[in-house]
Structure 1
């Protein structure tokens, strides 16, 4: 039996009294072979307060944390997204939890999910909001940001602006943020957005049918759903006092808020590729953040994420991975330079995040990445192998790679890797769980 198998087997007792909404492995074989969680609800507790693309599955995160660390550990997610890892650390009472995220809307979402808020106080506020919203004499200013009239009807802009003004005047910051997050969710639902993909397109059906949403009804229904989630959340958090540190910043650089060699487990799901061709986090977050901030800076976010900058490409990264070298040459045979540069830029940035992460993790600590292998110019890129080759240059051993089917993540079902009209292929339908150990 390997060291990893012993660790897993010894952890099984931790799952004996597991919450029924999470996975309970009984044997080593069950632990190793169960990763899909298709029968489990990912929108449990505060995880369900707002949606986010390519979101971590809580059951997967909890399974890994309970297996690999004890409660007095320090856990880090270098791509913390909507905060699944940090929230699970809170539920489990992990001593220290850190997150790094470059998307300002994701930061707001995570902070709101993590805050302690009495559901009764939040519920009391909804009647006050409703009374003010129903008051036709209530004075407010219309919100304005780039292309707002392209994405919303005039009536929707008015109703959303009124709601934003009412919520913004709530004195209690926690209650205010709770309701602003509700507003963020309906800001997408009440727009002309086509929700079939992960990029921003107007729905022809909505446009042709003069889509006019009932903004208050959407707001009220979402608030009611979130009340129920918050009630259940408050029953399980108890007296857990996890120290949460959420860093608004770039995972490619080292952050002083995280002590060197202090982390027992890094658990993260990096982007599967550049935002132009995979998951456009910036586009998904754009409308909610524009309502929150009335700023248009998020429009450029996708260019700031991994692989967003394809200028001054450094080919030296190829020396660190034979698989990346081999597959870059395959792409070059089809497309001389452009797509090769996109691929190299992404993996160069990904290596930078691994290098920075290496600064934080303890010797003997685990680095677990959940990622997918995408297709570029009909070449199936083995990101799992490339990561393990990168990791070896940084002093890690590749303990094991598990595979799971993507059940719940918001991903485009097909894309066009050749950029030829009408030619599409299925996108990533599986993910890999890569287990690395710091030597």
Structure 2
């Protein structure tokens, strides 16, 4: 039995008392073979308060964290997104967990999911919000941001502006954030957005049919759903004495909030490629964040994420991975250098995140990445192998690579690599779980 198999086997008793919302492996074979979790609900507890593209599955996170850490461990997610990893760490009683995230909306979402809020405090406020919303004498100002009239009807802008004003005046910060997160979800539902993907297109059907959603009804229904999720969340976090540190920043650089050589487990799911051709997190988050901040800075977010810029391109990264060098050459054989430069820029940035993450890692700690292999110019990029080659240069051994089908991870079935409306391709439907160990 290998060292990894011994570790997994020794962790199995931890799953014996697991509730039925999570996977309960009984044998080593169970643990190694089950990764899809298609029969499980991903929107449990506070995980379901708001959706997010390509979101981690709680059952996947739970399985890994429970196996590779304990209550006294320090756990980090360097692409924390909507907070699944650190929220699961809170549920499991992990003393210290950390997240790094560059999307301000995702940071707000995570902080709201993590806050300790008595559900009754939130529930009691709903009647007051309703009373003010239907008070015709209530004075408020219309919210304005770039292209707001393009995405909403005048009636919806007025209703959302009024609702936002009412929520913003709630004095209890936690209750206010709870309702602002509800507001964020309905700000997408009540827009002209086509929800078949994560990039921003207007739905021709909505526009032609003069789409006029009932803002209050959407808000009320989403609030009721979130009350129930919060109630269940509070049953398991009531006496929880844990710490979660969320860093709003870039995972390519080192952050002082996370001590050097302090982390036992890094569990993360990096982007599969640059946002221009894969999941556009900034576009997905744009409308909610524009309402929250009344700023347009998030429009530039996707260019600031991995592979977002090819300026000052450093091709020396090709010397750190034979597989990457080989595949870049294949792309250049069928296309000009533009697409190969995009690929190099992405892997350059990905390597920077691995290098910075290594600063935090303890010797003997595990670095586990869940990632996918995308296709560029019909060439299947082996991100899994490229990562293992990068990792070797940083002092890691590759313990094993598992594969999972993407069933209930929230992703569009098609995307638009060229960002041109109507030109779509199938998205990847499998992921790899790469288990590295720091030597």
Tell me, what secondary structure is at the counterpart of 2:150? helix
Shift of 1:414: 3.1
Q: Is the 8 A contact 2:278 2:417 kept in 1?
A: no
* Contact 1:377-1:418 within 8 A present in 2 as well: no
Q: Is it true that 1:132 corresponds to 2:140 in the alignment? A: no
Q: Which residue of 2 aligns with 1:239?
A: 239
Partners of 1:330 and 1:416 in 2: CA distance: 22
The one-character-per-residue Cα deviations of 1:373-431 (angstroms, maximum 9, x if unpaired) are 00000000000000000000000000000000011233332346689998764321000
Q: In structure 1, what is the Cα distance between the partners aligned to 2:195 and 2:414?
A: 15
Does the 8 Å CA contact 1:375/1:427 hold for their aligned counterparts?
no
CA distance in 2, matches of 1:215, 1:37: 34
Q: Does 1:165 align with 2:165?
A: yes
| Counterpart for residue 189 of structure 1 | 189
Matches within 5 A, 1:225-236: 225-236=225-236
Distance (whole Å) between structure 1 residues aligned to residue 93 and residue 119 of structure 2: 21
Once residues 24 and 55 of structure 1 are traced to their aligned partners in structure 2, the CA distance between those partners, rounded to angstroms, is: 21
The residue number in structure 2 matching 1:289 is 289
**Does the alignment pair 1:315 with 2:315?**
yes
**1:143 is paired with a residue of what secondary structure?**
coil
Counterpart secondary structure, 1:229: helix
Which residue does the alignment assign to 1:262? 262
* Alpha-carbon separation, structure 2, partners of 1:43 and 1:423: 31
Q: Deviations over 1:78-125 (max 9, x none)?
A: 000000001000000001000000000000000000000000110000
Cα offsets for 1:269-293 (capped at 9, x unmatched): 0000000000000000000000000
Q: Which residue of 2 aligns with 1:115?
A: 115
1:4-15 aligned at under 5 Å gives the runs: 4-15=4-15
Structure 2, unaligned runs of 5 or more: none
Check conservation: 1:141, 1:162, Cα contact below 8 A.
Answer: yes
Contact 2:50 2:185 in 1 (8 A): yes
Q: Which moved more, 1:39-48 or 1:305-314?
A: 305-314
Residue matched to 2:363: 363
Per-residue CA distance 1:126-152 (angstroms, 9 max, x = gap): 000000001011000000000000000
Residue pairs, 1:27-426, within 5 angstroms: 27-415=27-415, 425-426=425-426
Query: Contact (CA 8 Å) 1:142, 1:161: kept in 2 or not?
Result: yes
Give runs of ≥4 in structure 1 deviating > 4 Å.
415-425
Aligned partners of 1:7 and 1:67 also within 8 Å: yes
Question: For 1:35-89, what per-residue CA distance to the aligned partner results, in whole angstroms no more than 9, with x for missing partners?
Answer: 0000000000000000000000000000000000111000000000000001000
Equivalenced residues, count: 439
Normalising by structure 1, we get a TM-score of 0.98
Q: Runs of 5+ in structure 1 lacking a partner?
A: none
CA RMSD across the alignment:
1.3
* TM-score computed with the length of structure 2 as normaliser: 0.98
Q: 1:347 to 1:262 in 2, by over 3 A?
A: same
Give the distance between the partners of 2:133 and 2:371, measured in 1 at CA. Answer: 44
In the TM superposition, what is the alpha-carbon distance from 1:324 to its structure 2 partner? 0.3
